[in-house]
């Protein structure tokens, strides 16, 4: 997978629909290299790091998790450096980790999720781990030459939604926050969606980066979200 360049400091590998691999992003600070999300497997992480190496970029020092869902966290045990997540993310991951001791649960996961079944072939082992650092409301990282403002936000997709804003680059990372709640029969909470729309409008960004699509302009994303929120 070839890495793509969004700005002089921001790079990403695109999402992969066949296995539901989300977009993985990289912010090149002068001191700290930051990754956003840990992918859905060790193989996904390896592919990401290989693409970075080809581009001459070092492995991430820190990885931020946008929410607990498998496609964003099941590679977390395999990352370089430390991971940071919301405390609710760790709570969800702990519950999932406990369930993995039951082989019937793993079989059920694969049976009910074709993407997970495609990713975890040939008895590839599922490993779940919690983050090294957790926070409650917000945390800011000085990457050197640029900053990452990391904060919890109310959103329809998941209770532990985390957004990452890079003000110097005018880029906002949204994970899967704008999507419906797949663990609640695909329910879309319109009140939460409208709050998220208002939040996006208030942030001075040029690009909005979602987990399962190409980068969008702020304007294009808001037009789409408003069309489904009315």
What is the residue extent of each domain of the chain?
A: 4-229
- Reduced to 3 states (helix: H, G, I; strand: E, B; else coil), residue 201 is helix
User: In terms of residues, how long is the chain?
Assistant: 230
Among 95-99, 132-136, 182-186, 212-216, which stretch is predicted with the lowest mean pLDDT? 182-186
The pLDDT of 105-111, averaged and rounded, is 90
**Cα–Cα distance, 94 to 90 (Å, whole number):** 6
Does residue 185 register a pLDDT over 80?
Answer: no
- pLDDT at 122 (0 to 100): 80
Q: Tens of pLDDT along 6-18?
A: 999 999 999 998 8
**Cα–Cα distance, 45 to 124 (Å, whole number):** 14
**Cα–Cα distance, 82 to 65 (Å, whole number):** 11
Does residue 97 register a pLDDT over 90?
Answer: yes
Q: Which residues are paired to 142 by β-bridges?
A: 147
Calculate the CA 152 to chain-centre distance.
Answer: 13
**Cα–Cα distance, 71 to 201 (Å, whole number):** 27
The DSSP code sequence of 179-203 is S-BGGGTTB--HHHHHHHHHHHHHS
Specify the pTM. Answer: 0.95
**Cα–Cα distance, 93 to 99 (Å, whole number):** 10
Fold classification of 4-229 (topology level): Metallo-beta-lactamase; Chain A (3.60.15)
Does residue 205 register a pLDDT over 90?
Answer: yes
The pair of structure tokens assigned to 172 is: 């906002």
Does residue 168 register a pLDDT over 80?
Answer: yes
The pLDDT of 36-55, averaged and rounded, is 97
Q: Tens of pLDDT along 68-88?
A: 999 999 999 999 999 999 999
Percentage with pLDDT > 70 across the chain: 100
The pair of structure tokens assigned to 227 is: 């069309």
């Amino acid at each position: 997978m070839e890495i793509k360049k969004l700005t002089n400091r921001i790079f990403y590998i695109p999402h992969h629909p066949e296995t539901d691999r989300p977009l993985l992003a990289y912010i090149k600070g002068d001191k700290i290299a930051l990754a956003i999300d840990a992918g859905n497997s060790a193989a996904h992480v390896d592919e990401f790091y290989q693409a970075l190496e080809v581009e001459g970029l070092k492995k991430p020092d820190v990885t931020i998790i946008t929410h607990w869902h498998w496609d964003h966290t099941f590679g977390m045990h395999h990352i370089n450096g430390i991971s940071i997540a919301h405390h609710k993310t760790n709570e969800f991951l702990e519950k999932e980790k406990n369930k993995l001791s039951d082989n019937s649960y793993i079989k059920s996961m694969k049976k009910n999720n074709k993407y997970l079944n495609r990713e975890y072939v040939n008895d590839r082992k599922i490993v779940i781990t919690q983050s090294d650092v957790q926070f409650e409301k917000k945390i800011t990282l000085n990457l050197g030459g640029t900053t990452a403002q990391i904060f919890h936000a109310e959103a329809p997709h998941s209770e532990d939604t985390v957004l990452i804003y890079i003000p110097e680059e005018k880029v906002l990372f949204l994970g899967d926050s704008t999507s419906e709640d797949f663990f609640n029969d695909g329910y879309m909470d319109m009140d939460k969606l409208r709050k998220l729309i208002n939040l996006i409008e208030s942030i001075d960004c040029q690009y909005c980066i979602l987990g399962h699509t190409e980068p969008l302009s702020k304007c294009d994303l808001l037009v789409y979200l408003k069309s489904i929120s009315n």
